[in-house]
């Protein structure tokens, strides 16, 4: 049997090894309940302890005050694309969207198919979504301004969040949540599918400010209303218990092992700097994102030919480096270096990249 490899998958993605080991230890008998976490009732004290601890850790890590509600939903970020305008875009108003690629494009589509106006105030489509737009004029009367903090496919990321002039920011942070500290006060809603930087697929973290909840219409379907989740501690129906439990353990690892988001950002910047420096200095690899817009989470690059890219991915796998094929829509190569990807793993990758360039350049 093969041992564990270095996992650069874009999602579902790597988990911290200590978290996986803790799950392994507790899996058959969670907290002396005599049951697996997958078997305990979501109404039990055992699971209520899990979800409460997860929420408290989110609040501490992001420094959220009591104006923010923390809930766990299902359906991934894709469900949020339609749920957000349903809940937060009143009749007679429009919302601003910044289009930075695939996921932002999908969010815009899900707004407009409801017959709700989504105003694209900025886009990087003119250069293949290879950069984050600057100097954006947001509409002062917009219901909200939607951005995608990190583009997993094109390898771009907002280095700092835009000034909307007081319009509430709504942000898809699926692929860089908890990777760095930031000021939460401009955000009306933050959402993140868990499967990239938080835990397994199946849970979606939603953080919503109290004033935004007041917009939620009464006549929406029950399971598509944010107030259903805030009013029932995310347990109106059975939540994705195992996924939430794993998220709780990842948050504990971030807080107690890593030491918080400042420390996590330092590690992430070191990993990304090492990888980008290898690309830039190689004369063989070529980064695809503009330098000022490069992602700390998803490093995208090309080789001189597509045949060499295929060889690179295959030989990398033979060397215990998995998940380096670019997204099918763009090709090329991509190394996703989320929180759980170790610096040691990135060092193994850059050593392999150096050797591959020497033998194929």
What is the spatial distance between Cα 176 and Cα 143, in angstroms, rounded to a whole number? 25
Annotation says 103 is catalytic: yes
Choosing from 55, 196, 225, 325, the catalytic residue is 196
User: b or e along 224-255 (b: 16 or more beta carbons within 10 Å of the residue's beta carbon)?
Assistant: ebbbbbbeeebbeeebbbbbbbbbbbbbbbbb
Burial degree of 97 (CB within 10 A; 0-12, 13-18, 19+): buried
Cβ atoms of residues 155 and 176 within 8 Å: no
What is the spatial distance between Cα 156 and Cα 103, in angstroms, rounded to a whole number? 12
Annotation says 172 is catalytic: yes
Q: CA end-to-end span of the chain, whole Å?
A: 34
- Helix (H) or strand (E) run with residue 335 in it: strand 333-336
Beta-carbon contacts of residue 186 (< 8 Å; ≥ 6 apart): 161, 163, 164, 168, 169
Choosing from 46, 116, 154, 172, the catalytic residue is 172
DSSP letter, residue 294: B
Give the tokens for residue 2: 């093969």
Choosing from 46, 55, 96, 103, the catalytic residue is 103
Per the listing, tokens 């763009």 go with 330
Distances (CA, A) of 301 to 103, 268, 304, 315: 20, 18, 10, 16
DSSP structure string for 119-132: EEEEE-GGGTT-S-
Q: Is the peptide bond before 131 cis (omega within 30 degrees of 0)?
A: no
Annotation says 196 is catalytic: yes
Kind of pairing, strands 145-148 and 169-172?
parallel
What is the spatial distance between Cα 46 and Cα 37, in angstroms, rounded to a whole number? 8
Among all residues, which ones are annotated catalytic? 103, 172, 196
């Amino acid at each position: 049997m093969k041992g564990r490899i270095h996992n650069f998958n874009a999602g579902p993605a790597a988990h911290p090894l200590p978290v996986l080991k803790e799950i392994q230890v507790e899996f058959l008998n969670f907290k002396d309940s005599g049951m697996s976490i997958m078997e305990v009732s979501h109404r039990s004290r055992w699971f209520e302890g899990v979800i409460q601890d997860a929420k408290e850790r989110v609040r501490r890590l992001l420094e959220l005050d009591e104006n923010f509600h923390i809930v766990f939903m299902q359906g991934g970020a894709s469900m949020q694309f339609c749920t957000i305008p349903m809940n937060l875009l009143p009749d007679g108003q429009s919302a601003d969207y910044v289009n930075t690629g695939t996921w932002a494009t999908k969010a815009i589509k899900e707004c407009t198919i409801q017959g709700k106006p989504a105003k694209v105030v900025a886009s990087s489509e003119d250069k293949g979504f290879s950069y984050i737009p600057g100097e954006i004029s947001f509409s002062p009367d917009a219901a909200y301004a939607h951005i995608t903090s990190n583009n997993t496919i094109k390898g771009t990321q907002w280095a700092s969040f835009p000034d909307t002039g007081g319009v509430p920011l709504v942000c898809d942070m699926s692929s860089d949540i908890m990777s760095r500290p930031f000021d939460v006060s401009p955000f009306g809603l933050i959402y993140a599918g868990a499967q990239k930087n938080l835990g397994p697929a199946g849970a979606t973290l939603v953080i919503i400010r109290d004033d935004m909840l007041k917009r939620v219409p009464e006549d929406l379907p029950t399971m598509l209303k944010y107030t259903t989740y805030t009013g029932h501690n995310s347990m109106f129906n059975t939540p994705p218990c195992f996924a939430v439990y794993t998220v709780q353990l990842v948050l504990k690892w971030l807080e107690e092992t890593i030491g918080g988001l400042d420390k996590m950002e330092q590690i992430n910047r070191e990993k990304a700097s090492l990888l980008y420096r290898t690309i830039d200095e190689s004369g063989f690899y070529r980064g695809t994102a503009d330098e000022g817009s490069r992602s700390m989470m998803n490093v995208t690059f090309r080789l001189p030919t597509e045949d060499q890219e295929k060889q690179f991915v295959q030989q990398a796998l033979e060397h215990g480096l998995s998940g380096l094929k670019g997204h099918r829509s763009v090709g090329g190569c991509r190394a996703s270096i989320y929180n759980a990807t170790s610096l040691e793993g990135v060092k193994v990758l850059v050593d392999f990249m150096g050797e591959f360039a020497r033998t194929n350049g």
